[in-house]
Each structure stands twice: as structure tokens, then as C-alpha cells.
Chain A
Amino acid sequence: MTDSLLSVRDLRIRFGTDDGTVRAVDGIDFDVRAGETVCLVGESGSGKTVACESITRLIPTTSATVEGSIRFDGTDLTTLSESALESYRGGRIGHVFQNPQDALDPVYTVGAQVVEAIRIHRDVSKGRAREQAIDLLDRVGIGDAESRFEDYPHQFSGGMKQRVVVAMALACDPDLLIADEPTTALDVTIQRQVLDLLADLQAEREMALLFVTHDLGVVADIADRVVVMYAGAVMERGDVYDVFEAPAHPYTRALMACLPGRGEAFETIGGQFPDPTDPPDGCRFHPRCPHAIEECESGSHPDFRTMEQADGTATATPGDDADTDSATTTGDDARPHEAACVLYDDVHTIPTDVGVADD
């Protein structure tokens, strides 16, 4: 394993509720290496947001129990005290939340909030912080930043607010930016601008980006690697080209099949998302999986199986694309394409067509 900037291992997050224990995240692993973009993909309720918020312990409820290890640059964040963690928040790990509408405090000017974000971690004079804040606002595309500095949040549109939020998250030049559906609440044209901005900033600052989304179009656009989550578990992970060209897990295939605009009938995944207090045994997707077999229905979540694409022997790889795919990866096995599905062993085969459940 090469050195990862962020390395999450066996992360489990439970919430105690009146209806029972909700296992929002149940043993997920993923890595983010310096400078790369990793997308966490999954439908609502799959635990993406909670997983991200647990990294710097930002889950807004006290009833959550977090287990597992979260190593960031060699330090296990789960063992740090609250005050030690504060130097990581904002200082080394920036966080952008989903809804920009209330992300800025109505009591302060926009500039004051960026300045605050700078001065929490940096001992600079107010004048200097102000200059930096104006530079930042300018960089994230706030036109005439100098005069808009004194404006209040209600004078900004949603897209502008999200740019300010991005500026605040970048204020102390973090090594990792966690962006939790930063574009979901924005309209499509503004989405595009904010995505481009994030991509530019990431390239320019050599910052790692952990991006949460349910939008596969966005993933295809910006991701280096993809982690597909379903009901609190990782279903598939790998290089974005591998996953998009050869989705291995039936759930990933189903997600792809639901993408609109491919000239076919609009498809949906049949069935219901599992009850979070009582997830199914075995593979969590099996009740909705068109290829489910008996072995899927019992035991724990399936182990990951590496998709062997380089030699073209893998049953799931559809034909000729295999060689070009492997060429786009970095060549080492640090980012293998893996799927948590029992169908990928020596005994079983999975149909190569992309199918979805039809009930």
C-alpha cells in the first residue's frame, strides 16, 4: 500500500434511535491519496455524508458511535482530543457542506467570515487577513471582491454563497477538501461553474478532494477514483475509468442503467432501500439484485474481489476495453478495481449485460 493522505479502515457509525440502532456506516474502507479526487457515490441514505462528517468528527448529534480507524497523514484522528482535532479542521482538512443557503452567518459580512476562517488557524494581522480574504474571494470567482467584501450573506445568491463557502474552506490551504454534495442545491449552470472551480483549485493547490455525490455525471467529470456505497457498505471501488467502463457490482450496473440521456427508456432500481435499523443479511443489495443467488442472502457483507482486467480473464470485463482501461491506471496495484460481490469467484459467473431488478 502506498502512502495515503487519508486512510479509512473498518469505519462503523451507529446511531441510537427510538426505532433501534441505525448502522449508518457499517465497516467501510477507502483511501484518498495526496492530490487525487475520490468520489463517494450512492443513493440517499447510503451513509456517504455521515462517513465524511465522521472524519473530522462533525456529526451534529451526540448519539452517534464511531468505531474504526481514520488515519490522516499518519495520525489516527479518532484518538485525538477535541482541541487537537480543531487544528485539523479547516487547517488541514476543509469541509464544504451541501446547502449554501444557511452556510453563512447572517450576522456578519461575507468578508468577516472568510477572515475568521483564516485567523482561526493563522496568526496574521487583520489587515493581512483581509488582503488574503479578498484574494481568496477573487480566486473563487466573486467579481469585485473588494467591494463585495462588506456585503452581507443575504445579498448573495446561492451560487455566490457556495463560492464563499469554498473560499472559507480553502482559507488555510488544506491538504484535503471534503465536499459534501456541494452542487446539489444549485441549478445546473451554477453547478457546472462550481465544479469547474473546485477542479481548478484542486489542480492549482495540489489538494486532495473527497467528493460526495449521487450524480454519476459529476463523478465521470471530476473523479480519479470512485467508491460506490449502498446502505452503509462499500459495494465497489476503483479507478473511475474502470468503474465506468466495466461496472462490476450489480448495484453499480443498476446505477449506471438509471442514468438518463442515454437514448433508452428511463430505468429505475426496483424494490425498496433497506430499513436502516434492520439491514438484510449477506449482501445488502441482494433483495433488489437481479443476479442474487442463495449465497448472497446470508452471512456478512461479501469480501472484496479484485477485478483482473489487465489479462482480460475476468468474467465481468466486457471484451476489448480491458487493455485501454489498465493503461489509464497508474500501473501499480494501489488502486485495484474491486467489488464486494460473491458472484466474482471461480464458481459463479455474472451475466455481462447491465441489468436491473424488475419487481
Chain B
Amino acid sequence: MPSSSSDAPAFTQVDWDEVGDGVGRPGARTIGFGLALGVLAALLAYDFVINPDKTMAPLEWDVRREGWLVLVSLVVVARYGLVPLVADRDRTARYVDAFRQRRAGVLALTYLTVFAVIGLVGPGVFEFSYAKLGHRLQPPVFASVSTDIVHTYSCVGPVVDGACQGTWQYPLGTNYIGENVFKNWLSGIHVAFKVGISTAVIMATVATVVGTVAGYYGGVVDDLLMRYVDIQQTVPAIVVYIILATLFLGNMTNISDGGLFAFALVFGLLDWGGIARLVRADAMQRRTTGYVRAAKAAGASNLRVMRRHVVPNSTATIVTALTRRIPLVILAQIGLAFLELNRTRPVSLGNVLLVGVMGRHMPWHVKWWTTVPAVLFLVGMVVSFNVFGDTVRDVLDPREEAQ
């Protein structure tokens, strides 16, 4: 939105309705946020109380616990990520300009966006099909595998010189139980997306609140909160999860090991210590800046100062810390799934890798197509998150703006 010249008032009037809350009155954003959460709560109540077993009527979608978590997370991301960007188009345009000058950042963002979309909609696009044992260990397109390596091997595609050729029916081949690797790959990305977003939102919320309160108030509040973080960090979330999963979650009917929901809660609620520390350091620094003192001098309450001035100025720190943390959390889930400590439906990449490396019929390096796509995706994801985090830090950091 150009802020210049003659047509400014019409624009700015609209823009102004979006900015800031009045004296005790909730702003449009708060109302919208509340409404969205309310709708979700109503749907949740409907799903659990009135119609517990069936799928949601209009969508034919059986939303399960982790599904609700993801929906809430999406609403939070929209409220605190997308709405501010859309509302302040002037500023967004500057970010976009700054972002575009950083090639690596653009590439990373593209990668993450593409796979987020794939993760979000991927499994819905393809209809479910049962694994066909007869079609096991098919090679991917443009690749081939020797047919005499396995007994009773039936090749779907043409056999040329004793080598089975891949077909488009299974673009990435199949694994030893005849599952379509491409579909498993998609569902793995779907699970990774769900793990990432729901854990990240829980983590970011807790870390931001705790870090900001500790850093802003200081003194005893800071001591208490940060000593708790110290204690929490001595016991990694993954250990807590393994203990919970093996002792309590394993034998309950229909719950298995708690799946994604338990994973997201345990990691979201116990793995935010590092981020909280960074946010705290930021808040301590902000506390003495001129604009925080000016806001206090203008009569703003502590809550308002934190919400309007301290947290928005820590955005770069929070986003960067999250981009470091999210890939680690996704990898942790995959690791647990590989160890069969976190079963998900659809399957996680951990499960895909586990099935892929099992040495049945063929050694794992011969049936490379069952594992390589997952590994490549993960490598790309970790690199992209890191590059994206660096770029975002450069672009968002308000301190850089003066230059």
C-alpha cells in the first residue's frame, strides 16, 4: 500500500480500524480470533459429545485429537502471523522487498511452502489403497532392479534383460510389503507438517509468555521462572516422552502410545526452555528502551507494554529460534517413530525409514528408493529451516531498519 499522495486518507482510514485496542474494548482482531476459536470449540463439542464416532458430516473428515490441535495451531498462526502481515501491507511490502534480495532465503521459503502445501493437502488428494503384497519391491520410474534377487518376484512393469523396470503406477516404487513409497512419503510429510506446526505453536506460546514475563519483570519472578526452566532443561522432553510412552501410553485401548497428540503436548510443553531464554534476554533489553519507558510514562499497563511493544520487537528472535527448533522436533518424532515409540496414522517418515531399512528380501542399499526420498526431504527441510531462519532474522529485525 503506497502511503503517499492524494488517495491516502481512504486507505489509511481502513488500516486504522485494524490497529490497536481502545480503552477496554477488544479490537477487530481479538474478536475474530475469539470467534475462530469459538467455532472450533463448538465443532469439537459436536464431534465429541453429539457425534463421537462418525466423521464430520460436511467434510467427511474424521478429525482426531491431533487434528484439532493442528486446527487450533492454524488459527493461532493466522492471527499472529498472517493477519498482521495482511493488515500492514506497507510494511509487508518492505519485508518482501528485503526478502527477495536474499536468494537462499527465497529458495528455502519456496521449499518449505511447497512441502507445507503438500503436507496439508497431499494425503487428501490420493484415495487410500491397500498395500498389495504381490507388488512388493517395485523399483521407481527410470530405475530397474534385478528380478532374481527375490523369490516369487512379480514385476508390474516390463522386464528388460532380467531387470524389472519401474512404472508410473508406482513413481517411487514400493517397499517390501507392497506399499506405495510415494504415498508413504506424502503421508510422512503430512505427519511432519502436523508435528511441526502444533508443537511449534504450543512451544512459541509458552516460551513467549514465560520469557517475556521473566525478562520484563525481572527480580523474583525472573528467578522463579528461569530456575524452573533450568530444572526442565535437565530432563529432555524426549526422555519424558519415552518414559510416558513405555509406562503409561502403551497398553491403553485405542490409544497405543499416544501418537502425535501426546508427542505434540509433551514436546510443546517441555521443550521451550531454550526459546524462553532467548525471549527473556530480548525482553530484558527492551525493558529499558526509550519506547517502553515512553509507553509506561504515557500510562500503558505492564500487560499492554508487553503485548504492544516487548513481544512485537522480539518477533525476529522468536521466529529464528523456532526455525531452529522445529526441524529438531520433527526429527525427534521421526526418531521415535523409527523406534516404534510413536505410531501415527498415516505413517510417519520414521516408520517409512524403518520399513525401508529392514533387510527383508533385499539389502537396504539395493532397495534404495524406499529410504532415499524421505532422507532427501529431511535434509532439504533442515537446511531450508535454517536458511529461512537466518533470512527472517535479517529481514524482520527492527534494529536493522535504520540502515
Contact = CB atoms under 8 A, between A and B. Distances in A.
Interface of A: 56, 58, 60, 62, 82-83, 86-91, 94-95, 97, 99-108, 112-113, 115-117, 119-123, 126-127, 130, 146-147, 149-152, 154, 165, 168-169, 171-172
A90 B297 contact: yes
Interface of B: 3-5, 8-9, 12-13, 16-17, 19-20, 22-23, 90-91, 218-219, 287-291, 293-302, 304, 308-309, 312-313, 398-399, 401-402
Given A62-B219, A100-B290, A149-B12, A107 B298 contact: no
Nearest to B21: A119
B294 A168 contact: yes
Given A112-B20, A122-B23, A90 B290 contact: no
B298 to A, nearest CB: 4
A162 to B, nearest CB: 11
B297 A94 contact: yes
A120 B307 CA distance: 14
Closest 7 CB pairs of A and B: A90-B299, A95-B297, A103-B290, A90-B298, A106-B398, A150-B3, A89-B299
A165 B291 CA distance: 9
Given A60-B288, A106-B398, A165-B294, A120 B8 contact: no
14 contacts: A60-B288, A83-B301, A89-B296, A89-B297, A97-B293, A97-B294, A103-B291, A105-B309, A112-B20, A119-B22, A120-B23, A120-B298, A121-B23, A122-B23
Contacts of A172: 299
Contact of A119 (B4, B12, B23, B302): B23
A152 B8 contact: no
B297 A154 contact: no
A145 B12 CA distance: 13
Contact of A151 (B3, B23, B313): B3
A58 B290 CA distance: 12
A96 to B, nearest CB: 8
Given A83-B301, A86-B301, A147-B8, A116 B20 contact: yes
B402 A154 contact: yes
A169 B300 CA distance: 12
Contacts of A120: 23, 298-300, 304
A152 B399 CA distance: 12
Q: Which of A56, A97, A106, A117 has the largest count of B CB atoms less than 10 A from its CB? A: A106
Nearest to B91: A152
Contacts of A115: 16, 19-20
Q: Chain B contact residues: over half helix, strand or loop, or mixed?
A: helix
A97 B218 CA distance: 22
Nearest to A149: B12
Contacts of B295: 105, 116
Nearest to A112: B19
A107 B12 contact: no
Given A58-B296, A122-B23, A147 B290 contact: no
B95 to A, nearest CB: 12
B290 A60 contact: no
B148 to A, nearest CB: 67
A82 B293 CA distance: 15
Contacts of B23: 119-123
B17 A126 contact: yes
Given A102-B289, A123-B22, A130 B16 contact: yes
Contacts of B308: 105, 116
B401 A152 contact: yes
B198 to A, nearest CB: 27
Q: Which of A94, A107, A127, A168 has the largest count of B CB atoms less than 10 A from its CB? A: A107
A135 to B, nearest CB: 15
Contact of B298 (A99, A112, A117, A154): A117
Contacts of A152: 91, 401
A82 to B, nearest CB: 8
A107 B313 contact: yes
A182 to B, nearest CB: 12
A311 B156 CA distance: 120
A265 B313 CA distance: 50
A1 to B, nearest CB: 28
Nearest to A92: B299
B28 to A, nearest CB: 10
A175 to B, nearest CB: 14
B277 to A, nearest CB: 20
B19 to A, nearest CB: 5
Contact of B313 (A60, A105, A119, A149): A105
B297 A97 contact: yes
Contacts of A122: 23
Given A60-B288, A115-B19, A152-B91, 4 more contacts: A58-B293, A58-B297, A104-B294, A171-B298
Contacts of A87: 299
Nearest to A103: B290
Contacts of A105: 291, 295, 308-309, 312-313
Contacts of B5: 147
B16 A127 contact: yes
Contacts of A151: 3
A270 to B, nearest CB: 34
A86 B17 contact: no
Given A97-B297, A150-B3, A127 B289 contact: no
Nearest to A95: B297
B290 A101 contact: yes
A122 B9 CA distance: 23
Contact of A150 (B12, B289, B291, B398): B12
Q: Which of A91, A116, A119, A151 has the largest count of B CB atoms less than 10 A from its CB? A: A116
Contacts of A116: 20, 295, 298, 300, 308
Nearest to B299: A90
B144 to A, nearest CB: 58
A250 B356 CA distance: 90
B291 A102 contact: yes
A105 B398 CA distance: 9
